[in-house]
Structure 1
């Protein structure tokens, strides 16, 4: 807990330094506090260049951060969050401390010189590097190291966006990938500490200033639901185009990597000249869109422009996040959708700003598949609670639709393209690469769903597994019944207990014979009894049993040796019946 507070304070201080660097470099390169608020203006120091100075500044920025990243921390390139996810999932939470310094400078230079990226990815990586560094200095266990990394991520998000709850859920949903009381408590401490520091420096103001929204007509829920589905497609499309342009940049570039951002900056400069609203993060443009300040055609142009500008910035080797661009894209989509609905259904549509806000959350959810984070962060960033119901509806639909359209998120796809599966074993790991069918044990005799509880208790005591699969009368898999569930049912309400085990069967997360052992371990560690049934396919029949012993035994096998099930000494039923 003390470490969480210290990391939160460090992340809060880091966010102040990072924001100051962005503002300083933006003033140096553009001559404005935020060039997106005055698009097309000339640089005060070189007024004779007019708006054409934007052709030069990305090149100058690339000449500075390109060699910095290539020489000191290559992992600082890109949007940062996937690297933190990888460190937690497969590297024990170990992140080099120099990443914090390099990421701060590289991302601030990228954004300040016109890179169309966000600041959430960098601050997550910066805070996580601080947490990892403290963990190594204190020599904590690997589990605690991962938690400290998550604390750094939570603190960074909280301080940068004035969103303490969003920082907590971002860390647990995306970085840790799990929820627990310990993780919640630690990340809350880090997030609150960072928020206090951030608010002292930046003030306690909402991200956007929006009027009150009210759902005045029931038909609006249907309109918001449709927006959620559309936003999922846009989020997935943004993900695909991001990596498509990155692939194109990889294919086209043949020179040294340190020079790539400078040369690629010429292409980015052309985009900024044609659409100067793409300069930097673009919060002023986003604010104006939520206020209905743009025509539908220009909103769609801004949407496409942001996708291209962000993808190009990342593709040429820039450093920055994709969360803020996702919000920007969602706002443009939502505002255009809302304006269009107002033309068709003027009496039922409602304000454009409501659709822009919902679009922001839905596109982010469609790209990241982090629905809890999307709901909480949009509420905190805007301070607008009246839109929470349609926001939740659209985000859930966007998440579900995105899962149907794509296997990966905008974060995990970057890793999978490098051959890294966060749900699989780490490269070089001895365990996890085998298929479940190679290590599973024979299937214990299943119970019929009509088996009386008293008979089931006897059979469970003889099985030695503490749980048995249950089949219905037609042989279909119904789930698993545990000795504990049977014993509790008989002990607590013997007269009112279910007549058969079919009513007590619980369906655990499925484990299939062809999946990697590392992936099955996620279900095994939470399984009651000694293991879980192995199915021949999704929704199929049980064909084996994966036990904890079988998984541990895989540590000591080479993979080429056939599995031999050890003999099990049975205990007479009269000796164990009372323990059920």
Structure 2
């Protein structure tokens, strides 16, 4: 009888490695969060204890007029940090973080682990009206990206680890593993992930919370009151509150981003805008010191029902305005904290008003403040599951489920009806970017421009006369004529239809006019190393059928990409995938296998597939080759004895670790010429 084997297949072993990496990311993110908390406590002590006491603000009265000095000194510290790490400190950076994860390669700067934490800690410690959640998500994401880079994981895996680190940071902040998981899945990954990757997110967030509880205990950030539902008729009241908070959330999204845009349009030095904005926040704090920082203790007091109608209304308006000014002027931080604050105060305010109008359909103050927090969060972030699970983990009460669902979903529907973009996607949408990419765009993003560029192009030199340009335009089927200089660099482009419109419009064109004079020197171009999604977006924006391809560094003209070529490339990908999926239901790729492109390095030039023998040595099959000397020729089946050239592109299939070994062999193999020279120098050996 054969004994059962306990060994793992290579793909199973790889997944076990990913699980261990996810655990590592979770633990490191938890430790990063704990370090971030210590930084916040240190700068809070420095600015709002030491400096506060030195200025005598605690004495009250006229001394409170010095509160803006605290924020201005914090602004000086932020500016000094920005001088050391330019471009990584100032402003609300979470939309940029989402763009890098969902539209980029998820390769975050390692220094973000310190810079984002230090910048937000100074900002919060000095009293800027910002939150800590966005920065800790970026810190955790940078930890996940760093681990992925050290392990040399693919961009897809790196993206998941970045989300895992961000979710672990949020989970540790609120002692809420499921809430952190939903944050990673719903906000960072926009709800797009596979079951296997979801497992990694779960492992990372729960590892983070376990680590945090082992170090600092099971203490929660918010002291949520016991949720009380007096009658199921209250569902109507919670629905009304959700609708009101949905309107408020849409207004906050627009005001927040309008304030940010206003500061960016100001023709003033960065330091002036930062200090002016922080001074305004400081002036507000003279009368409402509860508005300083993220206000977590004030949120707990509101949930306990301490504030009256006037104070709740004042705090709601103050945080609404001050958080927008703080982040708009450039203070580092996030918007989750202000969102929690506004939602809690607005929920408590709604309860006070509702108790006056319909007392029999209104429950206790703390319950409405608590649900208001979740409803406003869902309305601003468009992430209802994150809000619901955070509420549940804060209360551990099943009674809150129905009121929370009704309020959050109502707030989401109303907010989306008024403003379709969330607070994090609003600025990206106004810049012409969307994080919700369709499958076609994802496919185009994987195809490089170099795969479809046309090099056989009709072009004119910048000194060509008008008559030569007209003759060339009449003889070619191209809609765009590239204009090049004597060094082969792109000097401009002439769109044929614009040229014809110029002539038919009766515009005077003298005999000395040349091609450069009538070309567009600032027309759109696409780099050779870009992808087809970037090219198609540029062509759609400018209404072009063709776009020049240039070298990114030298601007040397390399060819044209046409809309027809982009459509053909997309069709080939679509047909190939559908053929694989439908031709034979019994043929499918086994788990852990992949097909990839490999560039032949200089070391492997002159070698043949027979000599390398990848199938026997590495279990890798070379399927096709694209000749480096004829990149327009496409891929063709490779013969065993064809000598490889430097720059040839190989299509290889196998397990990831086997492909990595084969790639290493290509890079480290002894050049064919060197082998022959060594053989000749050793006549006694064959």
TM-score by length of 2: 0.60
- 1:533-575 deviation line (CA, Å, top 9, x unaligned): xxxxxxxxxxxxxxxxxxxxxxx96215696899x9xxxxxxx
Matched residue, 2:194: 180
In structure 2, do the counterparts of structure 1 residues 193 and 260 end up closer, same or farther at CA, with 3 Å as the change threshold?
same
Q: Name the SS of the counterpart of 2:360 in structure 1.
A: coil
Does the 8 Å contact 1:119/1:324 carry over to 2?
yes
How far 1:264 sits from its partner (Å)? Answer: 2.9
Q: 1:22 aligns with which of 19, 31, 40?
A: 40
**Distance (Å, rounded) in 1 between the aligned partners of 2:248 and 2:362:** 21
Does the 8 Å contact 2:173/2:221 carry over to 1?
no
In structure 2, do the counterparts of structure 1 residues 331 and 138 end up closer, same or farther at CA, with 3 Å as the change threshold?
same
How many pairs are equivalent?
443
How far 1:291 sits from its partner (Å)? Answer: 1.9
- 1:12-37 deviation line (CA, Å, top 9, x unaligned): 111111000101101110118xxxxx
How far 1:174 sits from its partner (Å)? Answer: 0.8
Q: How does 1:383-532 map to 2 (within 5 A)?
A: 383-424=396-437, 431=444
**Distance (Å, rounded) in 2 between the aligned partners of 1:415 and 1:270:** 31
Does the 8 Å contact 1:121/1:321 carry over to 2?
yes
In structure 2, do the counterparts of structure 1 residues 319 and 425 end up closer, same or farther at CA, with 3 Å as the change threshold?
farther
Matched residue, 1:44: 53
TM-score by length of 1: 0.71
- 1:256-292 deviation line (CA, Å, top 9, x unaligned): x255423432222112213211111101211111222
Q: 2:245 aligns with which of 207, 216, 231?
A: 231
Does the 8 Å contact 2:110/2:142 carry over to 1?
yes
In structure 2, do the counterparts of structure 1 residues 185 and 578 end up closer, same or farther at CA, with 3 Å as the change threshold?
closer
How far 1:200 sits from its partner (Å)? Answer: 3.0
Does the 8 Å contact 2:263/2:273 carry over to 1?
no
In structure 2, do the counterparts of structure 1 residues 52 and 578 end up closer, same or farther at CA, with 3 Å as the change threshold?
closer
Structure 2 runs not aligned, ≥5 long: 1-18, 447-531, 535-559, 576-582, 587-686
Q: Does 1:215 align with 2:229?
A: yes
Q: Does 1:204 align with 2:218?
A: yes
Q: How does 1:25-104 map to 2 (within 5 A)?
A: 25-31=43-49, 43-47=52-56, 50-69=63-82, 71-104=84-117
In structure 2, do the counterparts of structure 1 residues 252 and 518 end up closer, same or farther at CA, with 3 Å as the change threshold?
closer
Matched residue, 1:144: 157
Does the 8 Å contact 2:224/2:394 carry over to 1?
no
In structure 2, do the counterparts of structure 1 residues 147 and 308 end up closer, same or farther at CA, with 3 Å as the change threshold?
same
Q: Does 1:2 align with 2:20?
A: yes
Matched residue, 1:190: 204
Q: Does 1:559 align with 2:573?
A: no
Matched residue, 1:129: 142
In structure 2, do the counterparts of structure 1 residues 577 and 518 end up closer, same or farther at CA, with 3 Å as the change threshold?
closer
Matched residue, 1:369: 382
Structure scoring higher RCO (CA < 8 A, sep ≥ 6) equals: 1
How far 1:77 sits from its partner (Å)? Answer: 3.0
Q: Name the SS of the counterpart of 2:53 in structure 1.
A: coil
Q: Name the SS of the counterpart of 1:44 in structure 2.
A: helix
Q: Name the SS of the counterpart of 2:330 in structure 1.
A: coil
Matched residue, 2:133: 120
How far 1:219 sits from its partner (Å)? Answer: 1.7
Structure 1 runs not aligned, ≥5 long: 33-41, 434-516, 520-555, 569-575
- The RMSD of aligned alpha carbons is 3.0
How far 1:422 sits from its partner (Å)? Answer: 1.7
Q: Which has the larger radius of gyration?
A: 2
